A = this chain, B = another copy of it.
Amino acid sequence: MNPVINLERVKQDIYTLGRFGYNAEDQGIYRQGFSEEDMKARYWLMQQMEELELQVYMDGAGNVVGRLGGAEQKALLIGSHLDSVPAGGMFDGVLGVVAGLECIRVIKENNIKLRHALEVVATSEEEGRFGGMLGAQALTGNLKLDWLERAKDHGGLLLREAMGSCQLPYHLAMEAARDPDSLMGFLELHIEQGPVLEQTHNTIGVVEGISGVFKWLIKFIGKADHAGTAPMDLRSDAFMGLADFAHEIPRIIDEEGTDKTRLTIGSVELKPGFAHTVPGEVDFTLVGRDMSEEVMLNIANSCRKVCSSIARRHKLMFEYDQMSWLEPKPCTPVMIELLEKHAKKLGYKTLIMPSGAGHDAQFFADITPTGLMFIPSVGGISHAPDEWSHWHDVEKGCNVLLQAALELVV
């Protein structure tokens, strides 16, 4: 007997959840953390879990948990998040929750006897409306009470007020922490949200880890001048400093980076920003990623040196602020091997790859063996209404997850 998932049920769940927060105008999903639609989706999920006769609860952080197994058993957690970005897509997060639920359905309908407990977890507030990954942080004991009290969304709404209007007293989020000794692992299936699997014709991406990431705010300060009266050689043109730096980025990656290195200038502000004025200042962001912290350090060091030397050459002042430095979060080798083994056993072309985006899994990796797996995103598109993954890929991803879970809990 080789149990397989039922794609029709998975499809129906994904479509059903896709109605919570759906906006007909832009066809986007608006199910931000602790919004009314987000909570409605959670209650709907709890109902499904109850119909499967799981032990069901919402914890103090808004995470929804459905458990199959006895109280004394260690649990394998399968899950992802239910909240969305504004105008998000139908698969992001939802896939991993629905896949977990389907695994339990298959186990129940096949009367498979488990040695361990199996839990489906739908985490809360993964998309960072309030600047963190509240649900996963709470479950893994990675929350600070003062942050809970101060965190706000872009509109200035306090997290604790948002939670309060969902009948969730915010301090109870601290009580959501799971005892690592009660867990035997965490598995997450997610859409890639990038172009790599599609472009390389792979079906399954087994994630070796979440890339480390640093964010710098860089300033080049020169001198604003009249674009007509200031000769080229007498200028201190801040933008030309930035252009020269950006031009060096491929070389910096060639010399110091890996094929997993990403360096991005995503935001640029010129001052004064007039067509007829030589820019006297430019403020820009630099976001760097790699799977190795040592590579990150070398890249950062090289960027600093290049910026300094360009600043001297262009008669500019160079300043930078390190806004954040998050170290890489490797997934657990035994879980990587497990997922890869089952993907290949099922005959799916599989790639070991980093994740450049953050996921719930990165917090679980701190406390329990953790595996994360991707299926292709059409066009690499995500966080947008036209996010899509082919149903045959959804099916394959769910089946790999099922086989890996069975090996762990049966």
Are B196 and A231 interface neighbours, CB within 8 A? yes
A199 to B262, CA, bound (A): 43
- Complex contacts, A382 vs chain B, CB 8 Å: 226, 229
Are A266 and B227 interface neighbours, CB within 8 A? yes
List the B residue with the shortest CB-CB distance to A356: B228
- Complex contacts, A356 vs chain B, CB 8 Å: 226-230
Interface membership of A1, Cβ < 8 A: no
Interface membership of A247, Cβ < 8 A: yes
Binds B, one of A34-42, A136-144, A160-168, A236-244: A236-244
Which of B244, B277, B380 has a CB less than 8 Å from the CB of A230? B380
Given contacts A232-B250, A253-B232, A275-B287, contact A227 B196 (CB under 8 A): no
- Complex contacts, A228 vs chain B, CB 8 Å: 194, 211, 213, 262, 289, 355-358
- Complex contacts, A350 vs chain B, CB 8 Å: none
A226 to B92, CA, bound (A): 14
Interface string of A357-387 (1 = CB under 8 A from B): 1100000000000000000000010110000
Given contacts A243-B243, A244-B247, contact A195 B266 (CB under 8 A): no
Interface string of A262-290 (1 = CB under 8 A from B): 11111110100111111100000101010
Interface membership of A109, Cβ < 8 A: no
- Complex contacts, A4 vs chain B, CB 8 Å: none
A240 to B228, CA, bound (A): 26
Which of B195, B230, B264 has a CB less than 8 Å from the CB of A194? B230
Are A215 and B275 interface neighbours, CB within 8 A? yes
Are A357 and B229 interface neighbours, CB within 8 A? yes
Interface membership of A192, Cβ < 8 A: yes
List the B residue with the shortest CB-CB distance to A250: B232
Are A240 and B234 interface neighbours, CB within 8 A? no
Are A264 and B250 interface neighbours, CB within 8 A? no
Name the distance in Å between A251's Cβ and chain B's nearest Cβ: 12
Interface membership of A8, Cβ < 8 A: no
- Complex contacts, A279 vs chain B, CB 8 Å: 265-266
A246 to B270, CA, bound (A): 14
List the B residue with the shortest CB-CB distance to A358: B228
Are A268 and B266 interface neighbours, CB within 8 A? no
Interface membership of A259, Cβ < 8 A: yes
Are B262 and A231 interface neighbours, CB within 8 A? yes
List the B residue with the shortest CB-CB distance to A246: B243
List the B residue with the shortest CB-CB distance to A379: B223
Name the distance in Å between A86's Cβ and chain B's nearest Cβ: 13
- Complex contacts, A230 vs chain B, CB 8 Å: 194-195, 262, 356, 380
- Complex contacts, A278 vs chain B, CB 8 Å: 264, 266
Interface membership of A193, Cβ < 8 A: yes
Could you list 24 A-B pairs, sorted by A, with CB under 8 Å?
A: A193-B226, A194-B225, A194-B226, A196-B234, A215-B275, A226-B383, A227-B262, A227-B264, A228-B357, A229-B355, A229-B356, A230-B262, A230-B356, A232-B262, A239-B246, A239-B265, A243-B247, A243-B265, A244-B246, A266-B276, A267-B270, A268-B268, A268-B273, A276-B287
Closest 9 pairs (CB-CB, A-B) = A228-B356, A194-B229, A243-B246, A275-B285, A227-B264, A247-B247, A229-B356, A266-B275, A228-B357
16 additional contacts, CB 8 Å, given A194-B225, A196-B231, A243-B265? Answer: A192-B229, A193-B226, A194-B226, A194-B231, A195-B229, A226-B383, A227-B264, A231-B259, A232-B263, A239-B266, A240-B249, A264-B275, A266-B277, A267-B270, A268-B268, A276-B287
